[in-house]
Structure 1
Amino acid sequence: MGTLDGRVAVVTGTSSGLGTQFAKALDGAGARVVLASRRYEEDLELAATLDDALAVRCDVRSAEDRAALVDAALSRHGHIDILVNNAGVAFSGPAEKEDLERVRSLIDTNLTAVFGLSQLIAPRMFDQGGGVIVNIASPSATTSLDRYGLAAYAASKGGVVALTRELAAQWGRRGVRVNAIAPHFFPTATSGYLQDPDLVAWLEARSPLGRTARIDEIDGPLLFLCSDASSFVTGHTLVVDGGWTVY
């Protein structure tokens, strides 16, 4: 049920971090992956390591870039079966000091682009009889962290959770399942690869599992939601945090 043989997956934000890992996991499951990010050269290098991948330069904040991405995927493959809305940015600090122009850019990347790209691809999925959209949310959508101020980021990810639920409600009868993954701190550039002993100690102290995540531990949740293994799951946000938010 977890195989993705022959399916075409568009993944945004693939030049680093979880996006790179998502692309590798989907490729390993048999999907043909379309890589999309602003850092085209990094995507070309990643594509060379995958079985059948296409790299497309894309700033998801740009409506023109989003349209060009969809056109490139359809020109290459003729259909799109999976969309992973992963591209995102984050910054932390006191809410009263967050620059509103920077906040607008963050929301455009983390939320508006998710909606915009979903709007472009979903009708193609309707026409072909179905598809899967997976959005990347965050535990900060529902839980505040005592270590970081994440007002704009949390607001954007809260929007992703709500958007996921609403799109699932509207598009389910047209064959499109929409879910989200809310990963906690994984060893990526954004988290400093979990090299800060103080950060690791803080995470371990709050985790029921008593440890931080391995990068490959995101693969199973992604493949579950992208494959027929989750054929009766939609509108769900799957928190992948080692139980960190149970308290």
Structure 2
Amino acid sequence: MRNLLDLSGKAAVVTGAAGGIGAELSQALAGQGADVALLDISLDKLDAIREQIEAQGRRALPLQCDVTCGNDITSAVASILESFGRIDILVNNAGVASAGSVEELAEAEWDRVMDTNVKSIYLMSKAVIPAMKERQQGRIINLASICGVNGSKLAALHAYNASKGAVVNLTRGMGATLAPFGITVNAIGPSLFPTGMTRALYQDHFLEQYNTLCPMGRPGNPDELNGAVLYFASDASSYTTGQTLYVDGGWTAV
């Protein structure tokens, strides 16, 4: 039987690749045979991930890129196409969170969250879709969150709620209109996973509350998002688009 998750010969792009989830997803894609362009604002943090991907026999292309800046993205995509000759998979992983209610948040902080979590998807997708349309195939995978469909039970995360809700519906819209071009657009909605962004939440009191509310009684492990990204990146999901898969230990089920 053909391996539906096989990505041999494919070229993937992962934004926010230096972070915990970005690094894990990049290695998962390489593990199934994809070459991976690693985009992050911190270029020096990509060296270790590049080495791990190359150790798997795949090519890695680290690029410094501010994904809220159109000029940076245009330059990065040109470099990827020059190096790999194609872009088959885009994982819009870059994101930030910010605690605070609408009464508390400064306007600049609201803009920072919305630009990083939503505008970056618009800019990155806009840059790669022409190459995907030319080949009549492509996979765009956005990182949403349980906070895109649920209010935050344990803290006010209003800008994050708004941004991830936008990701969920942007994914629906893009999935519907890009389907005729052989391009699928889907999203992954994690709950709590260990990353640099969530490290401060791994405190006894918060974690105890989270574990009580989560049906599985624990946060996710880093590699537990790999199956979702490989599904959406591969032929296994060829008839799936506009969907968000919540990898959340049952959080959104109750």
TM-score interval, normalised by the smaller of the two chains? over 0.9
Is 2:152–2:161's contact at 8 Å kept on the other side of the alignment? no
Partner of 1:171: 178
Match of 2:27 among 24, 29, 33: 24
| CA distance, structure 2, for counterparts of residue 57 and residue 189 of structure 1 | 19
Partner of 1:246: 253
Partner of 2:100: 93
Is 1:187–1:194's contact at 8 Å kept on the other side of the alignment? no
Alignment of 1:1-150 (within 5 A): 1-51=4-54, 52-150=59-157
Structure 1 unaligned residues grouped into runs of 5+: none
| CA distance, structure 2, for counterparts of residue 214 and residue 194 of structure 1 | 15
**How big is the shift at 1:93?**
1.6
- 1:199 alignment partner, SS class: helix
**How big is the shift at 1:129?**
1.8
Is 1:186–1:194's contact at 8 Å kept on the other side of the alignment? no
Structure 2 unaligned residues grouped into runs of 5+: none
| CA distance, structure 1, for counterparts of residue 236 and residue 26 of structure 2 | 19
Partner of 1:187: 194
Given residue 244 of structure 2, which amino acid in structure 1 is its aligned partner?
Answer: T
Given residue 23 of structure 1, which amino acid in structure 2 is its aligned partner?
Answer: S
| CA distance, structure 1, for counterparts of residue 29 and residue 178 of structure 2 | 23
**How big is the shift at 1:199?**
2.3
Q: Deviations over 1:93-152 (max 9, x none)?
A: 232010011211211111011011101101110101201000001111110122111111
Given residue 197 of structure 2, which amino acid in structure 1 is its aligned partner?
Answer: T
| CA distance, structure 2, for counterparts of residue 167 and residue 16 of structure 1 | 26
Partner of 2:230: 223
| CA distance, structure 1, for counterparts of residue 168 and residue 44 of structure 2 | 31
How big is the alpha-carbon RMSD for the aligned residues of Structure 1 and Structure 2? Answer: 1.2
**How big is the shift at 1:193?**
7.5
TM-score, normalised with respect to structure 2: 0.94
**How big is the shift at 1:195?**
3.8
Given residue 169 of structure 1, which amino acid in structure 2 is its aligned partner?
Answer: A
TM-score, normalised with respect to structure 1: 0.97
| CA distance, structure 2, for counterparts of residue 4 and residue 53 of structure 1 | 14
